[in-house]
Structure 1
């Protein structure tokens, strides 16, 4: 009898519904609960592949199968003693939060999809078959019993999807019949779960799973999945979640009752409390020990006037010594040369003003304007104040008086105005933008001698010449370069008829010697060729390379692998695929034992004979050898899993194994290659 391990001995019987069960301990020491399902031997043999697949490929959303086996009474299955808290017990304490309900629905649909892929359908289940574990996982229990019943039908698959929809509606708190759903749930999510609960989604569990993931996408974020697992762990342990969670909006508060327009009550009259009649003695005043100030009998005396300052007498300023009379300028030359080139007299240096004593500067009180006016007047100083004594006038030199009055009389001198030449700004005059901030010195007074020379009748005004414009540089005109002077060729020396050399040898001697030598060489070679008969041409045709194969041709390489032939299509109705399961197959050595697990899938429920053979192909010799396969008659499966162990023939260096079904149609699997990549 096939089994995963020997059947454990019963320790304690427990009620297990329709199936019998007891507590036991496996060989590994783990405590389990064993369920015994009485079925005929044929049904037990048909259920072995499905139960074995559930045990070897556990799913996180299905309760694990820890051990299994068959005996004369039927099939026995060992599961965990505590598979979790039933969903019906948890829902009796209230509905889940939206993110926890979405996680529960996704886990249930994933487990049902794994069952349908293994060819098992529960045909519908209730809330007690859904268990919540202490670590926050949702699992489906009771499926091993459904694996013994046989192949599922379309009604069984649709019933499983409907049961998932009912469980999801209960977790979200939604009535499947159409009552108003909670306001915080999206309308599309409500329509999706009601479609599953009513059976409108059909038997395709993959379609229902995709629709739930699409509508509940925001509720399945990673942070909300962690919160959902924590909530389910708390609910499974009998504890409740807080009344307010960050993922559930608060219920709207009821509106306050409307205010009634009631007349305001009149305020009560205020009666002040009675005042006490106690009297208090006044505070004693201090004794008056001072007398008030007496009023002034007369006005106070005026303060004495300050004494007048003594008159300030100005200090005597020493008279400056008269400057020596300058020499008279030479009489102007009236010649033509002097008119054309007048000599400009150099200006006489202005006399420096005499220093003023500090005492006079300290005692001076006249305004600045008066001082400036007195300085600007060269002939007549300003009049002093009335209180001040009149200073003495300096004596005027006789020569200056004579120069000032050339006629000797008191008449007015005749003079002509000075002609002012046209002034043109030049580089010597600084513009306003070039001013450096230094004060321009004020020119001194014009000496009397120069003034008299200018006003004399014989004075000729200098002619002012305008500055000549700067020459403009004209670029040179490009000219063609001058031709180089022709060189004179040296005359060749005339040579005589004999070359003109030192030896006197004629020019034709050397060529003549070379020609004679060539004739001798050619004549000797021709004579030798004629003596040998010369070159002869025959009519033989060279046919190399030959069209006939040579006996020395290289042999054809024999280490090339032959292509694996196609023994049949990959799918042939009703077979959809033939797969060699690599995880459960051990076929790695040529000439040794080879175990193959073949998964044959059908498009519909199959109740006829299913058989296959094994094709063993030698990739070096190109020959095929048939090995015995296996056969099985399922009671109505869409997936048949068959095992076969054969011994591969020895000899080939490289081979391939292909499984080909014989009934109900011919279909081939993908080949498994063995050995090396060359022969």
Structure 2
């Protein structure tokens, strides 16, 4: 007899009744419970592969089969001695939290889907068949007994899904009949579990599992799954969940029991009597005082010396810091020695009138100012020749400076005007600003003394009276110009003639001509566009006239006999060729293709065998009459995908093929044999024909032809 190991010796009966078992010990020393399942010898032999599959391929949501075997009474299986706490006992203390209920439902549906895939259906189960272990794992028990039965039916599969829906509704605390559900449960999840409980979800357990996971995705998050497993472990051990769980929202855990109304009685403290200290000992503080404010008495004793020493040190360090910040600039000390020389000189007050150019040249500047006005009018034209004059005038200025140097000894106060050089330097710095903006000013500012000398030679009649005051004005200049730096500064700034070169504002004048230039090129462009349009219109008219002249020539051809275009000789529509004898039926697809092993027409000649059932032979077809076909398709593995095929009618005399629609695609829940029945309307007029069932899904395969009619075409 097939078995995983010899049947162990039965020691003691456990749980007498329908689910009774016997205590026993396997060869490896593991304590188990033996369950005996009575079944005829034929059914027991047929159930051996399913029991063996359960033992070899264990599922976490199914109670494991530790050992199995057959005996004259049926089949025996060895299971865990303690499969867990029944779900009914856990829910007797109240529903689970939404995360725990969702985890339980997903586990139960996973176990049922595994059974259906193995070709086993329990046909419905109760809360006692769902067990929760001490680790929080959910398992389905009682399935070995279901494996002894034959192939499951649609009603058995649907009953399993309905049982899962009822268990999930009970875990969530939802009424399957339609009473209001708790507000903490999403409405979509409520509709899903009620659809399973009512049978509307269908017999497919994997579809129900996918719907539950989609609607309860938030409750099946990894962190909530951990909390749910902890809750299931606590409930399986007979303990309630704590009042606060860090992994669950406040609205998800069960409500806390009502608190007692009786207020607690607090003890009334008695009066405090301080102990009397002994005369030789100091009073000891109360023990409670050490717990009232320990740090405060310690803060009153810190030494006062450290705090006063710290502030003075900080104040001493602060003053030198700002001084260091002002030490880096070295220019400040250099400027201070230069300031005292201008202080003793009273002419410092004359500095403000210097930039005005009104008080100092009171006598001669009048002429210079007038002369300046005259060149201003003609400034744009003679501007380029003026720079070379400035180069000559400085040389002339150097000669008069030497002449007044002789009378310098009788003038002792000359050293006092020495501070005047900074004034002139100030003039130079002040004049340097407007130099780029006004070219004549450049000549006046750098050469204040020789300025009149430059202007005097230009007007020939006036130079005679002016040279007399000029030496007096120049006499003051040598004292200030004694340091030669101003001339070099003048030489460096002499390249200022560059600004006159900027005078090419002449290019700007074309700006006023641009408005007239735009129409100049726009007009030709417009004219060109007009010409193009005229050419297009003229060409169109010409072509129209030319086309009109050709039409009558083509239509009016006197004396020409009407000719018809050559046409192909009419051909008869393709008609089926008649043959002397019936042709063989062509091969439309191979006879088998994985996972399809064969396709048959269930007829008395080729019966379709089904394990545990009588053979199917309901195919009956005749030409020009009724046709009832029964097609069986065999698979190598349990099929769960869609199955689709069509019929092909072949006229063996006319050599034509016609397609006849087959049944709608069907997805079995895990069958290896599927039989289709249908009444067909065959084409009329055929004398000998063949009918073939051609499958397109899940693979391309065809049946042997079903021959109809006579064996001749006459």
TM-score (norm: length of structure 2): 0.41
- Flag the structure with higher helix content: 2
Normalised by the length of structure 1, the TM-score is 0.43
Larger radius of gyration: 1
